Amino acid sequence: MQEKARRKNILSRHRYLLTGILCLFGMVLLCAQDKKPATKTSQQEQSDTLRPPTGPQEKKKTRVDLLYADEAVADKELRPDVQVLIGSVKLRHDSMYMFCDSALIYEKINSVEAFGNVHMEQGDTLFIYGDYLYYDGMSQLAMLRENVRLINRTTELTTDSLNYDRLYNLGYYFDGGTLTDEENVLTSEWGEYSPATKLAIFNHDVKLVNPKFVLTSDTLKYSTESKIATILGPSDIVSEENHIYSERGWYNTTTEQAELLDRSVLTNQGKRLTGDSLFYDRQLGYGEAFHHVQMNDTVNKNMLTGDYCFYNERTGSALATDRAVAVDYSQGDSLFVHGDTLRMITFDLDTDSMYRELRIYHKVRAYRTDIQAVCDSLVYNSKDSCMTMYTDPILWSGSQQLLGEEVKVYMNDSTIDWAHIINQALAIEKKDTLHYNQVAGKEMKAYFREGEMRQIDVNGNVLVIYYPTEERDSSLIMMNYSEAPFLRMLLKNRKLEQGSFIGKTTGTAYPMSQIPADKYRLPAFAWFDYIRPRNKQDIFNWRSKRAGEELKKSDRKPAASPRNMHIKRSNNKK
């Protein structure tokens, strides 16, 4: 008797509960039978990528069957199409099994409501758990609420609101959820997962957490099988070493390789690598960029540009080709240097002795508003802050031109400290189309202060043509021709202030009207203004010297500077 009374009390409680629920869902279910297809939202259109292109396979409508319940009650008069099931309920619809503590079966519309410890099984790979389930056997749509878990092999999706479409084999949530597999944990406000394709799509506040990095995004597609995340919107991938920004591409969370499009950006220790497309391998530590590439070093204020760039963060090496340009913007006025290939090599990385070499070859052309240069190849070594120009190097500044077999420029805090022109050194200053100041020697050293040339030393077989000028109107007074072993010139405001010859000196002064025709030019004279870069775009236009004007390399070593010589100096110190 006690057992019968207990069951009666349980049944009464369920009846009150179920009667209220029936009133609420009755109208919804009746409307569901006659509803027209709704217009797809943008999220639903995007979710179609997870569904078979031909739609679900039409299946013969089958009944939701009751396999077991501790107790079943039906009131044919009040609710003729409803069964009330209590205790250890087990149901089946086709290959899907459903378990719960209690349930209502709506026979007319072939649907089920399940309460308490809800559990769905399909085959041996898909399991869904929750506190509440409404299952529409006509559309084969399961709606689960509260403490929902979908488990598909090693993938688990947790949420409080999940709809699972059996026709499309697709589950989706819309009020926040988490998907977890062996490698990653993904969270978002909206998402869907297909057990058949192992693909998931996430929208709004997407976050992928991996032990080595964190990916945040607006829209993301993810494969639990390949572990590849496909970026479909603005995304950031952050690790201890670097930061990646991309709006389109893919990232393999297992191999840590990425292919990124649409001007993606890779940032590492103050360096930003940008390109129309990027390839990055985090494990090997290198990145490649293609088309309109820019690698910007914001710490040292320089960058490499080109249509192809390679950077290895582990070795500190970089390579740029295809309209490659090195840009130094540390002095405000940027210096642009172009060559067929730009290569950066780092030595003694991660030590106190670390230094870098920038190698540019071939057909080097450089432009800045105050200085221009050309040569075949160039090397800059940060260890001694020396830039060496090889094979027919020429430098211009204003109306002045310097050249030799080899030029070394020593820097101090990104400004020129002094320059060394080795073998067949020639300095020319253009006064007009006929008259040029000229100095030639075996070697030449130019010293700078605050960016201006203040002293020039010329050593070995020095030849000079010089035109003194009137201070009032800068008209030419005469021409001085001199020969000496050594010459020192002191300059101020780019003008000769004082000159001193050392050793045996010979010279001749010619009035302007009596200069012999063969004295206007030194034997080594050559004015290469026709190959001078005119602007930063002109650095891409290589122009060779005219035939016969190339320097023939000598075997002479630079002559030693004279010692213990008394040289008259001006009051201005170097």
Looking at residue 26, its pLDDT comes to: 37
571 or 299: which carries more pLDDT confidence?
299
Looking at residue 449, its pLDDT comes to: 85
Tokens of 324: 């490659």
Is the CB of residue 233 less than 8 Å from the CB of residue 216? Answer: no
Closest CA to 572 of 501, 496, 471: 496
Taken in order of first residue, the domains within the chain and their CATH numbers are 1-21+62-152 (2.60.450.10)
Q: Which residue has tokens 């201005």?
A: 572
Closest CA to 125 of 55, 9, 248, 224: 224
Looking at residue 160, its pLDDT comes to: 97
Q: Which residues make Cβ contacts (< 8 Å) with residue 419, sequence separation at least 6? A: 395, 402, 407, 408, 409, 410, 445, 446, 448
Which H or E run includes 293?
strand 286-297
Looking at residue 169, its pLDDT comes to: 94
| pLDDT at residue 570 greater than cutoff 60 | no
Tokens of 537: 């775009």
Distance between CA atoms of 402 and 368, rounded to whole angstroms?
16
β-sheet bridge partners, residue 271: 268, 297
Reported as a pLDDT band with limits 50, 70 and 90, residue 556 is low
DSSP H helices in 314-463: none
Lowest mean pLDDT among 224-238, 378-392, 460-474, 493-507: 493-507
Distance between CA atoms of 122 and 196, rounded to whole angstroms?
12
- Over residues 88-138, the pLDDT tens digits come to 999 999 999 999 999 999 999 999 999 999 999 999 999 999 999 999 999
Looking at residue 299, its pLDDT comes to: 85
| pLDDT at residue 75 greater than cutoff 50 | yes
| pLDDT at residue 57 greater than cutoff 90 | no
Looking at residue 56, its pLDDT comes to: 53
Reported as a pLDDT band with limits 50, 70 and 90, residue 21 is very low
Whole-number mean pLDDT of the chain? 86
Closest CA to 451 of 498, 413, 396: 413
Looking at residue 46, its pLDDT comes to: 45
Looking at residue 100, its pLDDT comes to: 98
Reported pTM: 0.74
DSSP classification of residue 476? B
Closest CA to 85 of 11, 35, 32, 17: 11
Reported as a pLDDT band with limits 50, 70 and 90, residue 397 is confident
Distances (CA, A) of 329 to 296, 332, 336, 351: 10, 6, 9, 26
Distance between CA atoms of 13 and 86, rounded to whole angstroms?
11
Looking at residue 268, its pLDDT comes to: 84
Distance between CA atoms of 393 and 420, rounded to whole angstroms?
12
What are phi and psi for residue 14, nearest 5 degrees? Answer: -65, -35
Is the CB of residue 413 less than 8 Å from the CB of residue 388? Answer: no
- Over residues 83-100, the pLDDT tens digits come to 999 999 999 999 999 999
Tokens of 551: 């320097």
Three-state SS for 16? Answer: helix
Closest CA to 377 of 395, 358, 364: 364
Reported as a pLDDT band with limits 50, 70 and 90, residue 7 is very low
DSSP classification of residue 346? E
Q: Which residues make Cβ contacts (< 8 Å) with residue 496, sequence separation at least 6? A: 466, 489, 490
Distances (CA, A) of 476 to 104, 398, 490, 516: 112, 19, 20, 16
Lowest mean pLDDT among 25-29, 114-118, 372-376, 452-456: 25-29
Distance between CA atoms of 413 and 428, rounded to whole angstroms?
28
Closest CA to 103 of 127, 133, 75, 141: 133
DSSP classification of residue 373? E
What are phi and psi for residue 89, nearest 5 degrees? Answer: -75, 135
Lowest mean pLDDT among 23-32, 118-127, 289-298: 23-32
| pLDDT at residue 78 greater than cutoff 90 | no
- Over residues 139-165, the pLDDT tens digits come to 999 999 999 999 999 999 999 999 999
Q: Exposure of 347 by Cβ count < 10 A (0-12 exposed, 13-18 middle, 19+ buried)? A: middle
| pLDDT at residue 563 greater than cutoff 80 | no
- Over residues 306-322, the pLDDT tens digits come to 999 998 988 989 999 99
| pLDDT at residue 36 greater than cutoff 50 | no
| pLDDT at residue 64 greater than cutoff 70 | yes
